[in-house]
Structure 1
Amino acid sequence: MPNAKDKDRRESSKLNRRQFLGQSLFATTALALGSQLSWAQDSSPIMRTIPSTGRQIPAIGLGSSATFSQVAREEDIEAVRGVMSTLHRLGGRVFDTAPGYGASEEVAGQVAQNLGIEDDLFWATKLNVARNGPADPAAAREQLETSFARVGKPTIDLVQVHNMGDPDVQLGILQEYKEAGRIQHIGITTTRESQYAELMQVMRQYPLDFIGIDYAVDNRNVEQEILPLAQEQGIAVLAYAPFGRTRLWSRVGDRPVPGYAAEFDAHTWGQFFLKFVISHPAITAATPSTSRPTNMEDNIGAMIGRLPDQAMRQRMIATVDELPMA
């Protein structure tokens, strides 16, 4: 039987959703989501192939910054368990974390092992011991070994250098671990436009499997050069901040989802935003962060059914461009 704490958490989740979508929209979303999830049980999720290895992963995953990081820091194990078990149950597999996200990596590792799903997850973490200068190789290896202990499996699926930190040293170390069979994929990330030029240099210089970048319907600068380069170089892409962190929620307010969204099976604004992101051919997976199972369910709905074509993507852009700025 659900306890009082579980009931309070569900009620808090509903209130949080109303902050962004408005009370009437939340009610509509809940009805549509129930139908969508019933369909999801019998439908295959949209899968994407990692160019360098041919491995396939679902197109929607879970990030662990922002609200996820907050509940992990507060040691709210039930909240972490709820969202991770929902991800797994509904077919999601990609979990993106980092030692720099507070307690996220440690707590999520404990929860995944307790749930017995650690081997099912595509575990993507990061390396960065170069925040204020050159990376210390010994410190980098120590951080990696800590990540291995937290994940609880002998091979980590993906480790990326976080925020362009000393790629010469840190990518070199990741390559060593990859050659030893301890890491399957390596890459590098940034969500800072000021680092895009450097990122492209690294993409051309190193044998990367992945990059992680910020991309949303109202944040499309990476379409100009970075995404085409990823396609040219055969590099997979994780899309971060697909909701513009909270910016897009603030922009839509209590507006209903456009009726035309049903043409690509988007029933909520969250699915609208995520389907735009994963419909770009360069994007391998999007990893929105959340600490609420209801939001995780909504996000998973974005990798079920149809995706917008190029003409529809332009219509989606026009819709968002007409919204007030947050």
Structure 2
Amino acid sequence: MATRRDCLKFSVAAALAAALPSGRLFAESGAGPVLTRAIPSSGERVPLVGLGSSATFSQVARSEDVSALREVLQALVDGGGTVFDTAPSYGASEEVAGTIARELGLTDKLFWATKVNVVGRGEDKADPAKAREQIENSFKLIGKDTLDLVQVHNLADIPTQLGILNEYKAEGRIRYVGVTSTSKPAYPRLIEAMRNEDIDFIGVDYAVDNRDVEETILPLALERKIGVLVYVPFGRTRLWNRIGDRPLPEWAAEFDATSWAQFMIKFVAAHPAVTCVTPATSRARNMADNLGAARGRLPDEAQRRRMVEFIEALPAAEG
């Protein structure tokens, strides 16, 4: 099974990341400023690439040594990023990130995006008291009086939980609200929420080999002026396994991609509906590499089609 580490050995960005501390990497590589996108409902601009905290980030957060996550969060900020996406269901991620951010003085430098979902397995209704308790706990763990974004996780009981989030928003304690789904069978419910609810954001899965959201969801986001956070742009490990040890094609330089991670992130970031891409990682060098996708040129439509054709020509990953 190929891993990101295998693929990075073909990357110029990886070589730089190995040689330089995260702050110096961006200063000395001459990569230019971080690209930003406007949040449609407000016009506030955020960096095009951020950090997620599921997967490997969550795994390390559960361990005794979280020093790697300290380096990742510092690399995010040093590289010009701000958006940090987390959730109570991501184990210790929210708590550990909140603690580290306070220790490093980064709390107010981050755009905190978290979630709420107290609907148990096999249930379809949320207990309002438990939902408020979970939200209040996020305030406590993150250490801010105002949270930037809280979304209803996995579309769970939207009437109850989004209603509560809107109460917090009206009070000025939450700036933006939204809903998330990374389940294709749930896309019709997501589309319904986008059409009928007053939301600022959605969070969805999107990757060069996972483009179903291009059909209706992303165009609707543009139409309804809803921001989009993209999750799992690497298809978790699926794309890494499919790419294997192949070198990055030379034509990727046409849109300033110097690694496979940048290739994959730039593909989704180039869609005009996307506000921020938030791949998870527990390695500072990967964080620096990911942020490289928010610099330089993005692929145009013809280049994006070539990217799709290239990936689709590869053998599908096993499993």
Residues in 2 aligned to 1:61 and 1:317: alpha-carbon distance in whole angstroms? 23
Match of 1:37 in 2: 26
Matched, 1:199 2:199: no
TM-score for the superposition, normalised by structure 2: 0.93
**Matched residue type, 1:187:** G
For the pair 1:53 / 2:42, whether they are aligned, the reply is yes
Q: Deviations over 1:32-87 (max 9, x none)?
A: 66797346666210000001111110000000000000000114221110100000
The one of 59, 68, 91 aligned to 1:79: 68
1:30 CA drift (Å): 2.9
- Number of the residue aligned with 1:124: 113
Name which of structure 1's ranges 74-83 and 61-70 shifts more when overlaid on structure 2: 74-83
Counterpart in the other structure of 2:154: 163
User: Are residue 95 (structure 1) and residue 78 (structure 2) matched?
Assistant: no
Task: Number of aligned residue pairs: give it.
Answer: 309
Instruction: For residue 17 of structure 1, report the CA deviation from its aligned partner.
Output: 4.2
Partners of 1:22 and 1:209 lie apart in 2 by: 35
SS of 1:37's partner is helix
Structure 1, gaps ≥5 residues long: 1-14
Q: How does 1:1-326 map to 2 (within 5 A)?
A: 17-18=4-5, 20-21=6-7, 25=10, 28-31=12-15, 37-38=26-27, 43-131=32-120, 132-326=123-317
Q: Is the 8 A contact 1:60 1:285 kept in 2?
A: yes
Instruction: Quickly say closer, same or farther: Cα 1:126–1:313, change in 2 above 3 A.
Output: same
Report the CA distance between 1:31 and its aligned residue. Answer: 3.5
Q: Please, which runs of 5 or more residues in structure 2 have no aligned partner?
A: none
- Please state whether the residue corresponding to 1:271 is helix, strand or coil: helix
- Find the aligned partners of 1:75 and 1:243 in 2 and give their Cα distance: 27
- For 2:107, what is the secondary structure of its paired residue? coil
Displacement after TM superposition at 1:21 (Å): 1.5
Q: How many angstroms apart in 1 are the aligned matches of 2:133 and 2:8?
A: 46
Bigger mean CA offset, 264-273 vs 38-47: 38-47
1:304–1:100 distance in 2 versus 1, CA, 3 Å? same
8 Å CA contact 2:31, 2:296 repeated in 1: no
Residue 8 of structure 2 contacts residue 14 of structure 2 at CA under 8 Å; is this kept in 1? no
Aligned to 1:266, what secondary structure does the other structure show?
coil
SS state at 1:218 partner? coil
2:315 is matched by which residue type in structure 1? P
CA contact (8 A) 2:242 2:316 kept: yes
Aligned to 1:95, what secondary structure does the other structure show? strand
Question: Does the 8 Å CA contact 1:75/1:107 hold for their aligned counterparts?
Answer: no
8 Å CA contact 1:22–1:254 kept in 2: the answer is no
1:85 maps to a residue whose letter is Q
Q: For residues 222-249 of structure 1, give each alpha carbon's deviation from its aligned partner in whole angstroms, at most 9, with x where no partner exists.
A: 0000000000000000000000001111
Change beyond 3 A, Cα 1:177–1:40: farther
- TM-score w.r.t. the length of structure 1 is 0.91
Cα distance in 2 between the residues matched to 1:140 and 1:318 = 44
SS at match of 2:108: coil
Q: 1:156 to 1:40 in 2, by over 3 A?
A: farther
* 1:257 maps to amino acid: L
Select the structure with the greater relative contact order (CA < 8 A; seq sep ≥ 6). Answer: 2
Task: Write the distance in 2 (CA, Å) between the matches of 1:40 and 1:188.
Answer: 37
Percent identical among aligned pairs is 56
The answer to whether the 8 A contact 1:62-1:94 is kept is: yes
Question: Measured at CA, do residues 42 and 277 of structure 1 come closer, stay the same or move farther in structure 2, by a change above 3 Å?
Answer: closer
SS where residue 112 of structure 1 aligns? helix
Match for 1:43: what amino acid? G
Q: CA RMSD in A?
A: 1.7
Report the AA paired with residue 304 of structure 2: R
